[in-house]
Amino acid sequence: MTSYVFITGGVVSSLGKGITSACLGAILEARGLTISMIKLDPYINVDPGTMSPFQHGEVFVTHDGTETDLDLGHYERFVRTAKGGRHSNFTTGRIYESVIRKERRGEYLGATVQVIPHITDEIKQCVQRGAGDADICLVEIGGTVGDIESLPFLEAIRQMGIELGHDHVVYVHLTLVPYIKTSSEIKTKPTQHSVKELRSIGIQPDILVCRSEKPLPDESRKKIALFTNVQEKAVISAYDADDLYKIPEMMHEQGLDDIVARQLGLDLPPADLSEWSAIVAAKQNPEATVNVAMVGKYMDLKDSYISLVEALQHGGIHTRTRVNIHFIESRDIEEHGVGRLENMNGIVVPGGFGDRGIEGKIDTVQFARENGIPYLGICLGMQVAVIEAARNMAGLKGAMSTEFNKQTPHPVIALITEWRDMTGDTEERNEDSDKGGTMRLGAQAVTLIDGSLAARSYGKTEIEERHRHRYEVNNNYREQLSAAGLTFSGVSVDDLVEMIEISDHPFFLASQFHPEFTSNPRDGHPLFKSFIIAVREHSQGKLPEVAEA
């Protein structure tokens, strides 16, 4: 039978509940348990797919193509057994949608449909389905205790505690313990209030994880324990860490996994955290430092590209390289030129939607290509590379994606339905492969050309990566672009372009898919490793032959 650990948050948002949950998953997994992880989001949107990255950060895509909250990215990066998917992320909107559908079908047999029990029952069923057959299911509840929206979720997890019993359910509450500089005092009151709020709706936390700048002094720990009715040793100090990957060890040292195991009556082997210490050690002792420019649209909110930033860091961990990422607005490149890219050892153009700054991205690609600077393009970053090659290598003036200009004379990137009509190609495509107008989502197989940079990076020719896009390379232009020097080194089962590269360049590679979603710190990712190796060579002055010629 699966046991549950419910993680709630209090005082303020953005305390790192997702990371805390992921780290708890990591240390429990390090004790031999299988883990599943669920995020419950109190907002009304049915899924985060339509939410602006400015407000909500990245949309993380799971293997099965579900568009989820970015916390699911943390879970997958920290916990190997946690495989996110359709059953791992539920919003209020999705819960209500499902209840209303049932009501319309008459499934409630004429009952008055109410928050309790119908919405709470639906939540409990979703949680139990998402838990699968893991030993422990960690359930993070978004928002902060006291929000109107989170009440049905909190009520559902309260009920689960009663139904499953205290030896199958653990409540963890994350709070903030602020340090007031002017009076040099640590304040425990917000934590006391937050727990009081939680207890008023019937949940007594078993463990408190207290976020603070510095480690919590014993007297504060005592005070918090006394006022919140939590055992002193179960008040865990989650002080600011200079490295995310130190957190599993920090929590383990304070016995967090032991407290959970004891409450659930589990007799477990000791935690093996050696992989995490190896990561921390690798980060602390880099052999080289490189500068990588990331040229995109949402540069003020780094969370918009969190998986990509992490994947680049993982590439650094596995090559002993400190990767300094410089976030540059593509609009700035449009307004002030490519000057800021001059001292960079590598350039990344990430995925994105909408035309803002698109010409700046195209100029960025041209600069990387002409100056032999390692280039990695992701999704839109591949599409702009194709546009740049069309314009400046194949001489197709005005080439563009129809996402940004419907009237372009050369729609080198377009919806499948648009470019298939161009040649009157009426070849039947099955339902699945014809994604024109809709999003291509989730993991799909890609075949790489033997001997290409792509295949050499992966060390194989058959791979699987996750997608999230609508537009595709227009196959009608492939011949012309190939003749101009662009290699199509990866294709999908239905012959859509998945990867491009340029051979007379030290490293020019781009993918239609998002490799960052499958990178994790322990294993790294082949594409990011090989990119960082090229970036490092560039930084060491091993200048490419093309640039010297």
Contact call for residue 385 and ligand GLN (CB under 6 A): no
Contact call for residue 236 and ligand GLN (CB under 6 A): no
Site residues (CB under 6 A) for ligand GLN, limited to 403-422: 403
- 514 assigned to active site: yes
- Cβ–Cβ contacts within 10 Å for residue 316, how many? 27
Query: What angle (nearest 5°) sits at the alpha carbon of residue 275, between those of residues 271 and 276?
Result: 80
CB 253 within 8 A of CB 239: no
The residue from 314, 469, 514, 525 that is catalytic is 514
CA 272 to chain centre: 25
Question: What DSSP string describes 53-100?
Answer: HHHH-PPEE-TT--EE-THHHHHHHH-SS----TTSEEEHHHHHHHHH
How do 169-176 and 207-212 pair as beta strands? Answer: parallel
CB of 474 to ligand GLN, least distance (A): 12
Contact call for residue 361 and ligand GLN (CB under 6 A): no
CB of 364 to ligand GLN, least distance (A): 15
CB of 472 to ligand GLN, least distance (A): 7
The residue from 516, 525, 537, 538 that is catalytic is 516
Contact call for residue 58 and ligand GLN (CB under 6 A): no
Range list of H helices, 355-488 = 358-370, 380-392, 416-422, 453-458, 478-483
Residue placing its CB nearer to ligand GLN in the complex, 197 or 472: 472
Which residue pairs, CB below 8 angstroms and at least 24 apart, start in 354-358? 354/297, 355/403, 355/404, 356/297, 356/330, 356/331, 357/296, 357/297, 357/329, 357/330, 357/331, 357/333, 358/330, 358/384, 358/404
Contacts of 422 (CB under 8 A, 6+ apart): 411, 474, 476
CB of 87 to ligand GLN, least distance (A): 24
368 half-sphere exposure, CB direction, 13 A CA radius: 35
Residue placing its CB nearer to ligand GLN in the complex, 308 or 368: 308
Contact call for residue 469 and ligand GLN (CB under 6 A): yes
Residue placing its CB nearer to ligand GLN in the complex, 10 or 48: 48
- 428 assigned to active site: no
Question: Of the candidates 56, 223, 391, 468, which one interacts with ligand GLN according to CB under 6 A?
Answer: 468
CB of 530 to ligand GLN, least distance (A): 21
- 126 assigned to active site: no
Contact call for residue 57 and ligand GLN (CB under 6 A): no
CB of 469 to ligand GLN, least distance (A): 3
The residue from 379, 498, 505, 537 that is catalytic is 379
Which positions are catalytic? 379, 514, 516
Q: Which residues bind to ligand GLN, rule: CB under 6 A?
A: 351-353, 379-380, 383, 403, 468-471
